[in-house]
Homo-oligomer: A and B are copies of this chain.
């Protein structure tokens, strides 16, 4: 699995290099490359099972969780859970480590931090921060 982890390191490095650390999505438009890299991560989180796996791992005591702890939560077969964990792993969101009989997963807080920073809307001074009070979101009151 070390070879896989090396590949994951490269993926994460690439993502960090392309996305940067703190470019809010609403500050300036993403390039095609940036959006491709980010979409890869969001797509990994775009599944209820994976999102729940992520939160289970992230909120687990000690910051890591054994696969055996995760399997029981869902009505899914072992291979399916393993598949979802692999997707999360390849997206750079988690890392897996085998210790003896069991495999333990933990999240990468830096990546979550990056994503959170990207999503933060309209930092003061950004173009979108001032709706020019044309009409401050009347929307359809229907």
Interface residues of A (CB under 8 A from B): 1-3, 5-6, 9, 12-13, 16-17, 25-30, 32, 35-36, 38-40, 42-52, 54-56, 58-63, 95, 97, 106-110, 112-113, 115-117, 119-122, 126-132, 134, 137, 139-140, 142
Q: Which residues of B contact A108 (CB under 8 A)?
A: 137, 139
Q: How far is the CA of A29 from the CA of B39 in the complex (A)?
A: 23
Q: Which residues of B contact A107 (CB under 8 A)?
A: 26, 121, 128
Q: Which residues of B contact A137 (CB under 8 A)?
A: 95, 106, 108-110
Chain copies in the assembled complex: 2
Taking a contact as CB atoms under 8 Å apart, the answer to whether A119 and B121 are in contact is no
Q: Which residues of B contact A56 (CB under 8 A)?
A: 29
Taking a contact as CB atoms under 8 Å apart, the answer to whether B54 and A25 are in contact is yes
Given A16-B140, A46-B43, A128-B107, A35 and B63 contact (CB-CB distance below 8 Å): no
Taking a contact as CB atoms under 8 Å apart, the answer to whether A59 and B139 are in contact is no
Beyond known contacts A28-B59, A112-B119, A112-B121: 8 more, CB 8 A cutoff: A5-B139, A27-B59, A29-B52, A39-B51, A42-B45, A61-B132, A62-B128, A106-B131
Residue of B nearest to A95 (CB): B139
Given A63-B131, A127-B59, A39 and B32 contact (CB-CB distance below 8 Å): no
Taking a contact as CB atoms under 8 Å apart, the answer to whether B55 and A35 are in contact is yes
